[in-house]
Amino acid sequence: MDYLCTFKFNEYVMKLSFVILLQALFLTSINAQEHTETIPDSPHNDEKMNFVALFLGNTVVYQTNIHLPTVGVEYIRELSPRLGIGLIGEVEIGYDVVNDKTNPNPSTLYTRETAILMQPAIFYRVYKGLIVSVGYGVEFENTENERTFGLFKLGIEYRLAMKNPNWFVLPSLSWDHTSLYDGVVYGVVFAYKF
């Protein structure tokens, strides 16, 4: 019964966060500039090259299709107009029971609660505002055994320029892979360049 109450609460939080996400996308699309962003060919020594960002979204665990609200922060240092390195930290809020894909018995369940993810990543701007990222780090899960897993993340974002050139909004989609489960993470990144 306790699991059912937690599931209903997670479902309510997921719907609420989805509505907030849609409102944020709508409001930022109104303020986004219509011109396309160009990448300069010469080094940009005078430009600001550091980014800090806030991520708001959801993680969908593939094995159960349960949505977990996710909040994160990012720091990125641009090394060139196309290449950057950074650090991603996320918190998946909620409770989930998934099939343990490492156990040969398909009915073996694995209980996971709030998880914290930390990973370095490489960011590459493919075309205009289209950015691909890849990273490998760790995930700390709040379970009976306090488990830690290796986490691989592959993501794609599109950088929308705002009227203020130091602020950016990036719709984001990524795939997370651990030894026990896979997940899809979607949301919006609000970034500031300094």
**Model confidence over 1-50: pLDDT tens digits?**
444 444 455 565 556 555 565 555 555 554 444 444 445 444 445 577 99
What tokens appear for 50 in the block?
Answer: 């550091």
Does position 101 have pLDDT exceeding 70, yes or no?
A: no
State both tokens at 115: 């998880």
What pTM value is reported for the model?
A: 0.71
**pLDDT at residue number 44:** 47
Instruction: Round to whole Å and give the CA distance between 117 and 20.
Output: 23
Contact between residue 85 and residue 133 where contact means Cβ atoms under 8 Å apart: no
| DSSP conformational letter for 78 | E
Q: List Cβ<8 Å contacts ≥24 apart for 96-99.
A: 96/10, 96/61, 96/64, 96/66, 96/68, 97/3, 97/64, 98/61, 98/63, 98/64, 98/180, 98/181, 99/63, 99/64
Fold entry, domain 2-33+46-193: Porin (2.40.160)
